[in-house]
Each structure stands twice: as C-alpha cells, then as structure tokens.
Structure 1
Amino acid sequence: MAIKHILKLLLQQKGISLLIILQVAITVMIVSNTAFISYATLQNWLIPSKLEENQILNVTTRVFDNNIDIASLIEQDVQAIEAVPGVIAASYASHELVLDSQGPGWTMFKDTQPETDYRVFGYFGLDEKGIDVLGLKVIAGRRFYPSEYIKGSFQSNNAGVIMISEELSEALFGNGSALGQTVYISRQRIPHRVVGVYQGKMLGESATYSQQQYHSGIVPEVLWGNRQKLNYLVRVAEGVPERVLQQVETALYHTPGRMVQRVEYAARAKKRLWDGRSTFAFTMSGISLIACIVTAMGIIALVSFSVSLRKKDHGVLRALGASRSMVMTTLIKENTILVFIGLVLGFPLAILLYYFLMNNVHVQSVVELPLLVAVALFTWLISTLAVYLPAREAAKVSPAQVTKSS
C-alpha cells in the first residue's frame, strides 16, 4: 500500500496515532538516559586506577576522646602499622585515597582571569612518605623538600608548591612544561608553583566523577583539622596474605577513645566509589524495563482497538485480493511511521532529561551516538513485536465476514 494512503489512514485516527507517538517518545526519553547512565557507570568500573590496588591499603579511624594529642597519636599509629609484618611504609593522609579529595569540587586555573579555562582535579595532602606509599613516579621536576611540608591541626598558610599528574599538565599547558608555572586552586585562586609532574594515577572522586580520572595534584600539607577522622595509606609487599588487613586493624585497636572504621585494599575503595551509582543505574534500568512493558502493552491495546474499528476496511482489502501478509505489512508500516515520529520527538526530550539530571541530580552520564542508535532499534523492535499480534488478527478477517455484516 502506498505511503500516502497509509498517512491518510493514520490521520483518520489521530487520537490513537498521537497516543502511540507519545508512548514511544516517553519510552525513548527514559531508555536513552538509562543507557547513558549505565554506560558511564560501566566505563568507570573498567578504567584502570594505575595504582597497585592490592598493595595499597586505606585505613580510616575515628577519635572520640577530645583530650587525645592527635600529633602524638598519628606518630604512634604510623609506627604501629609499620611494625606489622609485610608492611613496607605507612603515611598519614588528610583524606582517603580514591574516595575523597581535600574538598568538594576542586578546580585548577592557569591564571586569575575570570574567563580562564579550568580543570576539575583530585587534590591531596600527603606527608614525606605519601609519594612512596602511592608509588608515584616523578617524570619531571622534583619531589617536595623537607622544609616545604606543613603539618598541624589548622592551616595558617599554604605550602605554595604542588606536584601534578602528567595528564593534568597536558590539559593545562599542552606540550609546554608545567615546571615553574603558577597555577591557582579553587575559586579563591590560591597560587601554587608546580615543582614536579608524576605519571597519572586515579586519585580523587571529583576528578573521576568529571570524566578526568587522572587529573590530580598533591601538596605537602598534612592537617588534622577534623580531629575525629584520621586516615592512613599503607603500602604492603606484593603477595602478602589478606590477613594483613586484620593485623593492621589489631595494631590500632587498643588505643582508648578511638575506633577503627575501615581497613581495605584500594581495589575495594574504588569499587565502593561506584557502588551507589551502580545501584542508581540498576534502578533506572528497572524503570526502563517497566516503561518498555507499558509501551508494548499500550501499543497492543491501541492497535487492537484500531483493528476492531477498521475490521470492515481490512475485509474489503481481502475482497479486493489483498493477502494476509499484505494486511499485516500495512499495519506494521503504519506502526513504523508512528515509531519514527515518536523517535524524532523522543530524542530531543532525552537530551533535555540528560541535562536536567546532570545539572540538578548530578548523576554521572554520557551521551553516545551508538547508544541512541541502539535505543532507536530497540524501541522499533519492541513496538513491532507489540503490533504483531493485533496485525495477525486483522489479517484473519475474511471477505465473507464483511459480507455478512453488510
């Protein structure tokens, strides 16, 4: 049947056609964003941290006794951890490896101009042993001098120097050298001079969340302003039995007024980083599945109703020599046209929902053209399968039935 005639038939049933188009558009909007979120989550699961994940431990403790001398406690803890068999070195860190940076949403600017381009990065404060514990390889410049380290319960001034990852250096300065350059951290534009560049590691949720996984920087600052939470990074020898986790916890357990919250490998910390988001992605997938089922059932109901209204027309077609397959093909063509219109409407809605989620819900998502194509094919397949049953029933109408009803 000619497309022109099919369009005329669709216009005769504007209400049903609009409902099918709307269902398809809403389904595309939901399924597309589910695919975007799930894809972004999977991509981050697969990104290598470039850390020796099974040789680096995160240790998190909480202090409840306000009378404890935190500086002395940190020194005792480091000594106790390093006394555990298999431990190579331990370091106090202001924040947890992988999970937290020095603060939320850290940004780095090249200069103080308002329109300056900036980069989101993970920002860490480490002590003298921190670089070795993390296994950072300095490829340009130098390490921090002992005199540059700042330690204490509060910060009266900044160290003023920073080491940055190779990837962050390239993002800011291209092929030029970052050494000796002054960069400005946070919206307050706190100046830091770059003294070293190291091979990138996955450090900091803020950078990872912004799809800039290896953009990070470390400063020689060890602060315990939040005296309730003390974090340590520990490097163990390769192949050490997993009981080292319990041994490290036991080494810290006996200090009164303090509890050990967590001792875990970096691999576990990285997984925990994405656990909540993966749950959200799975929830969205469940919503998407429900949307597809509702759409399929809605199309079945609407097309079945349309078929019942046009039963006589189908009988006339059969009387004029149309085969069953021709009747089914006509209905499938009608559905394909409606699905195409729904896709054209649905994709802009999907992009609008994407930006809404990114700006207001702050989920991690990414728009990928192959995913949009896959969603389009999937939606068309679901709708075609949904229209098959009523189309087959319409094809069964015989000319004799029409004659009787006449």
Structure 2
Amino acid sequence: MAIKHILKLLLKHKSTSLLITLQIAIAVTIVGNTSFISYRTLQNWLIPSNIAEEQIINVYTRVFDKKVDQGALIERDLQNLRALPEVEYASYAANELVLATVNGRNFAHDTLDKDKQGEHVALFSQTQQGVEALGITVTQGRNFYETEYIFSDSEQAKRASVVIISRALANTLFGEQSALGQTVYLHNARLPYRVIGIYADMMLGESAVYNNSWYHSAVIPEAHYAQNSQVNYILKVRTHNSEKTLESIESLLFNEEGRIVKQVEYAARAKKRLWDGRSTFAFIMMGISGIAILVTGVGIVALVSFSISVRTKEIGVLRALGASQARVMRALLVENSILAFAGIAIGLFAAMWLNQYFVTNLRIQGLIVPWLAAIVAFAVWLLSACAVYIPARKAARIAPAQVTKTS
C-alpha cells in the first residue's frame, strides 16, 4: 500500500492517530527523562572519593548551655581528643564536615565582578591539624604556617589571608595559569585569599558533590566559633572503621556538661547516606519508566484495537480487492511506525527541554546522553510495534465474505 494512501487513512482517522502519537510522545518524555536522571545518578557512584573514608571521622555536637565558654570547650576537646591513642589528628570544623554539609552553600570567585557566577566549593575552615585530619597531600606550594591560623569567636575579627585549594578548583578558576599566588574571593562578602598551595583532588563537602563539583574544595586557616550552637570536629584515626573508636570518642565528649553529642560517624557512613538517598531516587525513576512503558503498551493495544474495529469494512474491501494478509498487516505496521516516529520526535524534544529545566531550576542531576536517547527511541518504537502486532494480525485475517454479510 502506498505511503500516500496510508497518510490519507491516518488523516481520515485523525482522532485515533493523534491519541496514539500523544501516548507515545508522553512515554518518550517520561522514559527519556527518568533514564537520563537515573543514568547520571548511578554513574556518579563510580566517582572515587580519594579520601581515607574509614579513617576520617565527623563529630557533631551541640552546646545547649549558653553559659558555656565555647572557645575554652573547643580547646579542651581538641586536647583530650588528640590524647586518645586511636586519634592521629583532630581539628575543629567551623562549617563543613567530610561528605556531610553542616552549613549552606559556598562559592569561590576569581573576580570581584558580582555579575559573574562563582564556582561551587566545599570550604573548610580549620584549626591546626585540619589539613592532616583531612588527609590532604599538598602537591604544589606549601602548607599553612602555625602563625597563619586564626581562632576567634567573631566573624568580624581578623581574617586569614591565605588558602590552599584543590587541583580541580585551581584548573576551573585559572585554567592553564598557575594558581599559586593568585587571589581567590570567598564567602558572601568575597573576601580575598592568596593561594599558597594546591592539593591532590579529593571528594570532600557534600555541597560541592551535590552540584557535580566533585573535587572543588578549599581550606582556610581560620575558625570562628560561637556563631551558633554547633561545635563540630574532624578527626583522622589510626584504626579502620572501628566501632570501639567511635565509642571512645563519644564517651570522652559526653564528660563535658552543657552540650550533647549528636553523632560520631566515619566519612564512609556519611558517603553511604549521601548516595543511599540518590540511589533510591534513581530506582524510583526506573520504576516510573517501567510503569510508563506498561501503560503505553496497553494504551496502544487498546487504541489500535479500537481503530481496527471501526475499520473492519475498510480492511475487508482491501482483502476482497486481492490484498494479501501480509500486505494488510504490513500496511497497519507502517501506519503505526509513522505515528510512532512522530510521537518519538515530539517526546525527545519535550524530554530535552524538561531535562534542561530540571537541571537548571531544580538542581536535579541529569544529562542528555545521545546514545541513551537513541536506545529509548528504539525501545519505544519496538514496544509500539509489538503492541500493534496482535491487533494487526487479527485485522489481516478478516475474510472478504464479512464485507458481503455486512453490506
């Protein structure tokens, strides 16, 4: 049957044709987006953290007694923690904990131009031993001098003037130029810090990880306490993922009155918690894809069956004029393929637009992958072909005699 004639038939039954096209377009939009999001999310599982996850410990505490001198408390805690035989290094953590954000989003800028968007960064404000507790390896430049550390109860006090940054952040901000000696602007006020060192890439704060800036991090030698009730620490221990070590740390911290110990956990646990939520989301997306495919298949079968039921006489005439079963069946499959291709084209366009909207406005991880889009398109076309096969086969078997009986 000529394509021109098939197109005339589709226009003749435009309501059914439109519904089938719309059904396929919606399926491609849903399946395409869920596939992009799921693939991107699960792909991120494979990104190495490059940190000693089973040796770095995040400590969360909260001071509820306002009479407690937080500065003195922190100094006592650090002294006592460093005295534990299991603890190798200990540092007060002002804002970020390893793979577990405590405070907001940070940006690093290479200019004071407020119209230029900064780079997402995990910003670690640390006391002495902070660099060692994070397991940082300085590959260019130097570490902080003891005299460069600032410990204060006020953010209005003197600020540090130097910073060490990750290699990934250095490359993003300064490209092929050397980052050493360059100025990086941090915090909302865009305060200047001179880069004195660059360290090997590590996956640190969750805020940067969430924004796909996996290794964008920076460490400054300043810590301002008493801004809120949070008093947190980062430790590096000699043991690997030992529950006994966690118990020792908790017991020591519980001895101080006026505060509660909220959580003591390895970075490995924080990372698992970070990815557990995302993997669940990815699997939910896969489930939605499966439901969309099932509904699409059932819908196409129902619509094609209905279309054929109102075209019984038309198909019978074709059979009476000498059209073979194979030719009738082929014509119906071509009709469906035309509708499927139209639906797939509309669906892919809608999927790409929706994906861009999600990534830009809702911070959902997703990325348009050409080969994955091609697989989705082929899978939906194959589904529609399979869904139309049974009704088409039944229609092709219509005997010419049926036309005579109903005439």
TM-score (norm 2): 0.93
Report the counterpart of residue 334 of structure 2 in structure 1: 333
Q: 1:314 to 1:75 in 2, by over 3 A?
A: same
How far apart are residue 238 of structure 1 and its match? 4.8
Distance 2:89 2:303 in 1: 69
- CA distance in 2: counterparts of 1:214 and 1:116, whole angstroms: 21
Q: Which residue of 1 aligns with 2:274?
A: 273
Aligned to 2:135: 135
Instruction: Write the letter of the residue equivalent to 1:8.
Output: K
SS of equivalent to 1:46: coil
| CA distance in 2 between partners of 1:221 and 1:102 (Å) | 16
- Render the CA deviation track for 1:349-377: whole Å, top value 9, x for unaligned: 11221232223322222221122112111
Task: Please report how far the alpha carbon of residue 208 of structure 1 lies from its aligned counterpart in structure 2 after TM superposition.
Answer: 1.7
Per mean C-alpha deviation after superposition, the further-off stretch among 4-13 and 109-118 is: 109-118
1:183 aligns with 2:184: yes
Q: Which residue of the partner structure matches residue 244 of structure 1?
A: 245
Distance 2:215 2:143 in 1: 19
Partner AA of 1:301 in structure 2: A
Q: Which residue of the partner structure matches residue 203 of structure 1?
A: 204
Three-state SS of the structure 2 residue aligned to 1:243 is: helix
Q: How does 1:60-99 map onto structure 2 within 5 Å?
A: 60-94=60-94, 95-99=96-100
Structure-to-structure mapping, 1:388-399, within 5 angstroms: 388-399=389-400
Q: CA 1:239/1:124 → structure 2, altered by over 3 Å: closer, same or farther?
A: closer
- Once the two structures are superposed, residues 11-69 of structure 1 have per-residue CA deviations (whole angstroms, 9 ceiling, x without a partner) of 11111111111111112111111112112211222211110111111111122111212
2-side partners of 1:80 and 1:391: how far apart? Answer: 79
- Which residue in 2 is equivalent to 1:159? 160
Give the Cα separation in 1 of the matches to 2:77 and 2:234.
11
Q: Distance between the aligned counterparts of 1:385 and 1:153, measured in 2?
A: 69
Following the alignment from structure 1 to structure 2, what is the Cα–Cα distance between the partners of residues 325 and 246?
Answer: 75
Shift of 1:181: 0.8
Report SS of the residue matched to 2:349: helix
For the Cα contact (< 8 Å) 2:98–2:206, is it kept in 1? no
- Helix, strand or coil: the match of 1:390? helix
Contact in 1 for aligned 2:169/2:215 (Cα 8 Å) = yes
Structure 1: which amino acid aligns with 2:35? Answer: A
Q: CA deviation at 1:93?
A: 0.9
- In structure 2, give the amino acid aligned to 1:400: A
Q: Is the 8 A contact 2:211 2:363 kept in 1?
A: no
- Paired amino acid for 1:380: W
Worse-superposed segment, 92-101 or 188-197? 92-101
Q: Which stretch shifts more, 312-321 or 363-372?
A: 312-321
Q: RMSD of aligned C-alpha atoms?
A: 2.1
Q: Deviations over 1:89-144 (max 9, x none)?
A: 2221112212227641x222222235556422221111110111111111111111
Equivalent-residue separation in structure 2 for 1:300 and 1:292 (angstroms): 12
2:50 alignment counterpart: 50
Pick which of 283-292 and 136-145 moved more: 283-292
Distance, in Å, in 2 between the alignment partners of 1:92 and 1:364 is 32
Kept in 1, the 8 Å contact 2:57–2:235? The answer is yes
Larger CA deviation: 136-145 vs 235-244: 235-244
Q: Distance in 1 between matches of 2:227 and 2:381?
A: 55
For residues 203-242 of structure 1, the aligned pairs below 5 Å read 203-239=204-240, 241-242=242-243
Aligned to 2:294: 293
Cα shift at 1:186: 4.6
Percent same amino acid among aligned pairs? 50
Map of 1:382 onto structure 2: 383
For 2:310, the equivalent position in structure 1 comes to 309
Is the 2:54–2:241 Cα contact (8 Å) retained in structure 1?
no
Whether contact under 8 Å (2:42, 2:282) holds in the other structure is: no
For the residue of structure 2 that corresponds to 1:19, the secondary structure is: helix
Distance in 2 (alpha carbons) for counterparts of 1:85 and 1:325? 82
Structure 2: distance between partners of 1:187 and 1:231: 22
Aligned positions, number: 405
Q: Offset of 1:187 from its aligned partner?
A: 5.3
Give, in angstroms, the shift of residue 228 of structure 1.
Answer: 1.7
Partners of 1:392 and 1:253 in 2: CA distance: 76
Deviations 1:247-274 (A, max 9, x none): 2222222323322222222122122223
* TM-score using structure 1 length: 0.93
* SS of residue matched to 2:328: helix
